[in-house]
Structure 1
Amino acid sequence: MKLGVLLCDDVRPELQPKHGNYPAMFSNLFAAVDPSIALQFYRVIDGQYPQSLSECDGYLTSGSRYSVYEQNRWINVFQGFVHQLYFQHKPLVGICFGHQMMAQALAGEVIQSDRGWGIGATQVSLDVPLIQQPPWLTEQPSKITLLVSHQDQVIRPPENSTILAGSDFCPNSMMLVGEHFLGIQGHPEFTPEYLFDLIKFRKSTYPALTYQNAVDSLEQPTDHLQMTQWIIQFFRYRQLLSHQQIFDNTE
């Protein structure tokens, strides 16, 4: 299976010598869970897109320091591309900025939350009624912990959305839009070491208590590998359905 990673930013240059850029982060993550997954990277922040949606079996996004509602040409173009993916029924996993772009592109709403920064390791609850539980969401725990770094939040999901996970701080942390768009506010590709250095780099940005709580939270384990397994299962399930549809149409 080949997945296209839509790069919406770069790791800050000061942190790249130690932690690499986003392509390295995603490559390391998927190699740890399923080395058979091939990744193709597209710098959408620089206007680089696939020539055809069929170049990859599905797409996923990186995060970004930008906000989806900013008036920026590359963001407007990217919003149109996400809109195209949805209506062409191409699977997409949106990470952080991409999660929010799903809402922005599909008539939901994203704002800078008055709850402040979400940073560090945060836990969300999964509470999906059995009738709404997607078949790829297996071995479902009641809670899952991921690394996060965001001010913006999805406050109104698009129509036809199912909220899969949330918390009091971020109620719409994980959502399924239709059957082929999966949005995740957290960062399975981040490592605690990287987020620690990013938080230190931005220390003056945060209230003192927010900063200290974020640093302390990084001592707890995260469920990034479980989340990545779900992401892979999501894409494989969509691939299976696509193949089945092609088979049915040729009978």
Structure 2
Amino acid sequence: MLIGILQTGEAPDVLSAEMGDYPDMFRRLLDGKGFTFRTYRVLDMEFPASVHDCDGWLITGSRHGVYEEHAFIPPLEAFIREARDARVPLVGICFGHQIVAQALGGRVERSDKGWAVGPTAYEFGDDRIVLNAWHRDQVIEPPIGAEVIASNSFCENAALLYGDYAFTVQAHPEFRDDFVGGLMRTRGPGVVPDDRLRAAEERLGQPNDADRLAERIAQFFNQAR
């Protein structure tokens, strides 16, 4: 199954040289699950010619806000709606989670709760999953028809399921602890409050359920439609 990675942001150069960029992280996350990958740098206006060019789509994270004025955002929203109409499966992570919601009629804002950083627990129904987080924007109002399938007290709409055509998650299963630690050093100071950075650093190294979420993503892409 060919998955098209729609890249909407970049890892800091000082980190990507050693740990790879966002598409590399998703390839590692989903390695061995029967997928091949093709990357489109939509942040540079490199878009697929058709929603049928790949068997499924994955939208990455980004340091940008979905409500900001960037040239790639309107065509990306249009692409999301086309994928929905064609029932081509779509997965969104962090920025991807938010842009899918916005494109389909939801509302995304910068949360007054501030930043979620580092290992964070989410309730997926009766299941508890710990994933790395790095965000302060949130889906405040899901689109009509979206099912909330994960949440916590900080992020009410932490994962959304849109029938059989879209599955989106606010957290970052592709971010390993070493990368999150690097973000704390490179993008955190002066942006994320010091006490929140310290608390997140203390949680690094605890058991992480990224592999379990990778299985959920694989199952979503592979389910019969």
Q: TM-score by structure 1 length?
A: 0.86
Q: Distance in 2 between matches of 1:113 and 1:166?
A: 15
Larger radius of gyration: 1
Corresponding residue of 1:203: 189
Q: Could you tell me whether the CA contact under 8 Å between 2:51 and 2:79 is conserved in 1?
A: no
Q: CA deviation at 1:184?
A: 0.4
Q: CA deviation at 1:30?
A: 1.5
Of 55, 63, 79, which aligns to 1:65? 63
Q: Distance in 2 between matches of 1:96 and 1:159?
A: 19
Of 213, 217, 221, which aligns to 1:231? 217
| Mapping of residues 206-217 of structure 1, within 5 Å | 206-217=192-203
Q: Could you tell me whether the CA contact under 8 Å between 1:158 and 1:177 is conserved in 2?
A: no
Q: CA deviation at 1:40?
A: 0.9
Q: Could you tell me whether the CA contact under 8 Å between 2:45 and 2:71 is conserved in 1?
A: no
Corresponding pairs, count:
224
> Counterpart of 2:200 in structure 1: which amino acid?
A
| Mapping of residues 177-196 of structure 1, within 5 Å | 177-196=162-181
State the Cα deviation string for residues 37-79 of structure 1 (Å, max 9, x = none). Answer: 1011111111112222222111011100000001121112211
**Aligned: 1:165 with 2:163:** no
5+ residue gaps in structure 2? none
> Counterpart of 1:163 in structure 2: which amino acid?
V
State the Cα deviation string for residues 122-176 of structure 1 (Å, max 9, x = none). Answer: 001122xxxxxxxxxxxxx620011110010001000001111100000100110
Once the two structures are overlaid, the 10-residue window that deviates more, 72-81 or 96-105, is 72-81
Q: CA deviation at 1:204?
A: 2.1
5+ residue gaps in structure 1? 128-140, 242-251
Q: TM-score by structure 2 length?
A: 0.96
Q: Distance in 2 between matches of 1:64 and 1:14?
A: 16
> Counterpart of 1:22 in structure 2: which amino acid?
Y
Corresponding residue of 1:25: 25
Percent identity between the two aligned chains: 36
| Mapping of residues 1-251 of structure 1, within 5 Å | 1-31=1-31, 33-34=32-33, 36-127=34-125, 142-201=127-186, 202-237=188-223, 240-241=224-225
> Counterpart of 2:13 in structure 1: which amino acid?
P
What SS does structure 2 have at the residue aligned with 1:52?
A: coil
Q: Distance in 2 between matches of 1:53 and 1:104?
A: 19
Q: Which has the higher helix share?
A: 1
